[in-house]
Amino acid sequence: MSDTTPGTTPGDDGAVPAPRESAGPEVIGVRKGMFGARGGGDTSGYGGLVRTVALPGPSHRPYGSYFDEVADELEGALEEQGLLPSNAIEKTVVDRGELTFHIAREHLVRVASTLRDDPALRFELCTGVSGVHYPGDRGRELHAVYHLRSITHGRTVRLEVCAPDADPHVPSLVSVYPTNDWHEREAYDFFGLVFDGHPALTRIMMPDDWQGFPQRKDYPLGGIPVEYKGAQIPAPDQRRSYS
Amino acid sequence: MGLEEKLPSGFLLTTVEQAAGWVRKSSVFPATFGLACCAIEMMTTGAGRYDLARFGMEVFRGSPRQADLMIVAGRVSQKMAPVLRQVYDQMPAPKWVISMGVCASSGGMFNNYAIVQGVDHIVPVDIYLPGCPPRPEMLMDAILKLHQKIQSSKLGVNREEAAREAEAAALKALPTIEMKGLLR
Amino acid sequence: MSTNHHAASRETTEGTVYTVTGGDWDEVVRSAAKADDERIVVNMGPQHPSTHGVLRLILEIDGETVTEARCGIGYLHTGIEKNLEFRNWTQGTTFVTRMDYLTPFFNETAYCLGVEKLLGITDQVPDRATVVRVLLMELNRLSSHLVCIATGGMELGATTIMIYGFRDRELILDIFELITGLRMNHAFIRPGGLAQDLPPGAVDQLRDFLKTMKKNLPEYDKLATGNPIFKARMQDVGYLDLTGCMALGATGPILRSAGLPHDLRKADPYCGYETYEFDVPTTETCDSYGRFLIRLEEMRQSLRIIEQCLDRLEPGPVMVADKKIAWPAQLALGPDGLGNSLDHIKNIMGTSMEALIHHFKLVTEGFRVPAGQAYAAVESPKGELGVHVVSDGGTRPYRVHFRDPSFTNLQAMAAMCEGGQVADVIVAVASIDPVMGGVDR
């Protein structure tokens, strides 16, 4: 963990997304043992097992398929606007036949509007934002994932932006893709991601007075134990589990 | 509510009870309270093949004030709970509630932050109907069972007596956790 | 504490009656009442017979004209995406099938395509499983459109259409029940293939169904398409042109009613859709009537695809060969009505200890999915149904997000209704065909 997430600048208290180690896979956590048993004696013999959990790391050219063309066009278009592509695009991942651009959050709106407006890119349909919470990814806990689809060219591309828990701000894409209005409200409702520039960022699914952001990993599932004849079965998140 | 509630216990009251029960069970007006998957099965029950009209209750009331049966069809979220209670309060007495499907009855598979774990936390339930979703036949069975219940419901002093007995029985009942037998 | 603003109470002869309101609703009404014109704010739903489920519409009305329309959603929020994170990958199908409960097979297929992409076994899914998936999805498209037309008609006051729609839907549910054992919420499509093979007699019943349905479909034309009242209610109502559709991300019949033939089955084929012959109907009318016509035509095209599926069904496996992923037993309905395979039980209980261990591990723990993320999308009857699945390499999903078309399309409600009449709001919402189970998840 520590070697992939160099400490943030002192005094900032992690309020800026931590710089990304561009070489290897992206480590998001460590898994210990085999059967998820905690707090009791380990009889499985797997208690000493330690595995790092890592998402696929950055890819290198050629990316294959239409990905090189999209990357070239995007980089070229960003350069034309006077923006250094390496500043905006933190890394590019090609995994399982999908292209992902990790974008620095301050450049998200510029990148998205370029992807939408450039005739050679023309990603006119945004299928919303999906929040993901990686508590183990220190300094970059909250990820907002956008999937863009080009009807013109028949392509899809994924944008990923991250923000630290201490400063969960991401620029809103409503000005570029108005369809993201409700999607961003949903991501705010469930993850506490604050989309700066959203016209009315309020809760959408949960009641207005709800406390907390229920789909974050640190928010419990909230189930209750179920009573049967002579036995009580704990809620799914309280049971012993594998992995 | 009316004169029948003032009748003394005895032959007259039981006769009125039977007449009132027969009339009430023969024209139950359900309020639409479709929430999720079960609502589709509830609509199916009202449509051609299952034809709830045979039991005089195919007209689902849009307004709770003209209804006396609430079929809670589907999962009740925390956000929906106050609405459900308000609709129930708007229904005139006597009124009955069928909790349709496991989600309404106990939370079902959605044992989480969003779903009320059983609609009986909010409103009194007369019939619990299992299934995910229950088949239309099951819903009709539940409705027929409710008809029996309505037929045999008491009035006036007899009702108070019945309520007292039910409460005494409930206080004496063994909690589920202390029951023995198969795990179910 | 003084009085509770969200739950005022008053005494009646029946006991205390609590009037529970949500948030600042009273303040909204009060401030709206101050304006000295005809403007009123009407709260329609969340429990209303014409709002297509527990949808809350907040309409600002000036006379009969809607000046502002807003949606309140979340009344059916079920936390399914969170629940998925505490079950293994296979169990996930039982949850996703309950999201948009009118399109269970689309939810399952989209989810399974995502999981298969993560596992890297997309190419190993047997042909028979893929064909059956297409078959079930197209049947499901029929049943979903039938409910849309039926309930849409009912909301207009045309009860006959509702009776017809549910009559034909029952025929499809009979087939679903024969194949999967359930009328709704099937969890039949599993990562790697299907839960089990088609039962005997399914193909014959499907061919009978095709005959019946070909006879029944023209009845909707006779009943509704040329009906002057129906047309008067639907035409030019719920107008949303192509610009609006693109800006709001609307897909499915709404986008196609604006003239753009975008259909993921053609644009980004999955499950071998590129090998089937079918047309993508469009209209240029941009209104509710056009969407109705598109749904009718899509049902005819679905029948065409089902026919092709039946011709293609070859005997073969319906689950990937990889025993690390495939469910250990081919289930069969036993005499006790439960789905155990006696041969398999004999094998694991009597013959092979390793098979028992493997069965136990796979059923209780599930398979591991390599870390990463994937996006899979299918064309559901309502539009693009996308699934974003994230794995951390464990036996349970790390995060599953559904991009439900109903959720996105419902945003277009305000654009369709504002400036129109109150009665037209119902028509517009019915033509969007939102299913709240999918919107709120």
Over residues A185-224, the pLDDT tens digits come to 999 999 999 999 999 898 899 988 888 899 999 898 888 8
pLDDT at residue A191 in the model: 92
DSSP state of B137: H
Query: pLDDT confidence of A159, banded at 50, 70, 90?
Result: very high
Number of H helices, E strands in chain B: 6, 4
- CB count in 10 Å sphere of residue C73: 26
B87 pLDDT above the threshold of 50: yes
Query: pLDDT confidence of A12, banded at 50, 70, 90?
Result: very low
- Within 8 A of A207 by CB-CB distance, chain C residues are 22-23, 74
- CB count in 10 Å sphere of residue C433: 27
CB B103 within 8 A of CB C83: no
Among residues B80, B82, B55, B81, the alpha carbon closest in space to that of B69 is found at: B55
CA distances from B55 to A36, B140, B147, C162, C341 (A): 54, 9, 10, 20, 42
* C162 close to A (CB below 8 A): no
- Within 8 A of B109 by CB-CB distance, chain C residues are 83, 94-95, 98
C31 pLDDT above the threshold of 60: yes
Among residues B123, B78, B89, the alpha carbon closest in space to that of C76 is found at: B78
- Within 8 A of A229 by CB-CB distance, chain B residues are 176-177, 179-184
C74: three-class secondary structure by DSSP? coil
C55 pLDDT above the threshold of 90: no
CB contact under 8 A, B133 and C20: no
Interface test with C, best of B71, B85, B89 (most C CBs within 10 A): B89
CB C75 within 8 A of CB A206: no
CB contact under 8 A, B74 and C14: no
Nearest-angstrom CA–CA distance, A27 and B12: 80
Nearest-angstrom CA–CA distance, A47 and C50: 57
**What is the DSSP track for A6-45?**
PPPPTTSTT-SPPPP--SS-EEEEEEESSS---SS---SS
Q: What are phi and psi of A200, to 5 degrees?
A: -155, 85
Q: Which residues pair with A161 in a beta bridge?
A: A144
Nearest-angstrom CA–CA distance, C107 and C46: 25
Contacts (Cβ under 8 Å, ≥6 apart) of C27: none
Query: pLDDT confidence of C176, banded at 50, 70, 90?
Result: very high
The pairing of beta strand A169-171 with beta strand C383-391: unpaired
Over residues B19-34, the pLDDT tens digits come to 888 888 888 888 878 8
Q: Which residue of B has its CA nearest to A235?
A: B111
Nearest-angstrom CA–CA distance, C224 and C232: 11
Q: What is the pTM of this model?
A: 0.89
CB contact under 8 A, C162 and B47: yes
ipTM: 0.87
Q: What are phi and psi of A226, to 5 degrees?
A: -105, 130
Nearest-angstrom CA–CA distance, A19 and C359: 44
Interface test with B, best of A229, A233, A238 (most B CBs within 10 A): A229
Instruction: Find residues 356-395 of chain C whose CB sits inside 8 Å of chain A.
Output: 364-366, 368, 371-375, 377, 384, 386, 388, 390, 392-395
CB C374 within 8 A of CB C389: yes
**B161-177: b (≥16 Cβ within 10 Å) or e:** eeeeeeeeeeeeeeeee
- Within 8 A of A56 by CB-CB distance, chain C residues are 371-372
Query: pLDDT confidence of C2, banded at 50, 70, 90?
Result: very low
Element housing A54 (H / E) = strand A50-55
Of residues C267 and B9, which shows the higher confidence score?
C267
Of residues A243 and B26, which shows the higher confidence score?
B26
